[in-house]
A = this chain, B = another copy of it.
């Protein structure tokens, strides 16, 4: 970003804009910052052995949610869940949140109440507390912004930057259910009552951050890098690789495609694997560990959760991230979308900087 030549941010592009903001922020960073912008949450010095995590995520009506596609409580839940997922992605424990809401005076009271209840419910479910916020009037769309703190034992912290060539790439749970839910809403598939539609819609509207799974992975001390899948594997894995200075090779047939994604993709005439690999908002954990540690990590997660751990590929030298089919041929998947360049397609979310 070279300001001054009069370009609009849509022309500059999200990645360039975020890179510029990170540059500005890192120039101004004082002591105590362990990890600044660029990971799932910032890490700052706190007490002996423990570091403070800090993250935020903003949701805009018409871009990230629609009131005819989700109940107010679900909108609030999701706004908090995204942040909880960022804390999970660091191997941390969520602690305290503040939430800001901008809304026009015409907003029905029960919508405000529902959003607030959803925020509190998600926080409470995962051991966090909402300790404050800001309510402001706005002529524009409803905006919900949450900032969440967490704590992490320094030696259990899992950054995006720790992946090493030869490591296995693993994911928790399955992918594509949230993208399937969004697809169903976009295509109006609700009326057909597909058997697994509810599963897809719930995944899209009320994602469940993987905190127990994160805790289990972190406790093994065997993970080398971790992040949460918010923008889709095809967008997020390259980010993890870039931070680690490595490449990746993913065996596409190993990607655990959610059954609801198979079903909705079939009905919508889409490729299920593409939807699972490039759709966002799964809030599953993507992590790396030594190949011979996969079984132990998977067993640790299995002891805490019914979410499976699946090894889908391996970290490589270089910087190329490739998805290959069973014959070893490279596959092309669409990458995520640029937040400012692309017209809003509610509510496929792409966060610019999750730190």
Contact = CB atoms under 8 A, between A and B. Distances in A.
Interface of A: 1, 3-12, 14, 17-18, 20-21, 24-25, 27-30, 32-33, 35-38, 41-42, 44, 46-48, 50, 52, 54-60, 62-64, 95-96, 98-110, 112-114, 116-117, 120-121, 123-124, 127-141, 143, 145, 147, 149, 339-342, 344, 351-355
Contacts of A50: 47
Given A6-B108, A21-B116, 10 more contacts: A1-B109, A3-B109, A10-B104, A103-B340, A131-B355, A133-B352, A133-B353, A135-B340, A138-B140, A140-B143
Contacts of A145: 56, 58, 100, 134, 143, 145
Indicate how many identical chains form the complex.
2
B98 A56 contact: yes
Contacts of A5: 109
A351 B139 contact: no
Given A3-B110, A37-B131, A129-B30, A136 B352 contact: yes
A4 B113 CA distance: 9
5 contacts: A54-B132, A62-B139, A100-B145, A104-B340, A139-B140
B140 A7 contact: no
Nearest to A21: B116
B3 A354 contact: no
Contact of A114 (B3, B102, B353): B3
Contact of A28 (B100, B124, B134, B141): B124
Given A58-B145, A134-B57, A136-B63, A17 B98 contact: no
A210 B38 CA distance: 31
A82 to B, nearest CB: 9
- Provide the main secondary structure of the chain A interface: mixed
B116 A60 contact: no
A149 B45 CA distance: 12
A132 B60 contact: no
A257 to B, nearest CB: 28
A42 B131 CA distance: 6
A139 B63 contact: yes
Contacts of A117: 24
Given A131-B25, A132-B355, A52 B9 contact: no
In order of increasing CB-CB distance, the 8 nearest A-B pairs are A140-B140, A10-B105, A132-B355, A147-B147, A47-B47, A135-B352, A42-B131, A3-B113
B58 A112 contact: no
A64 B136 contact: yes
Contacts of A129: 25, 28-30, 32-33, 36, 44
A346 B129 CA distance: 33
Contact of A37 (B7, B101, B133): B133
Contact of A56 (B29, B134, B140): B134
A100 B60 CA distance: 11
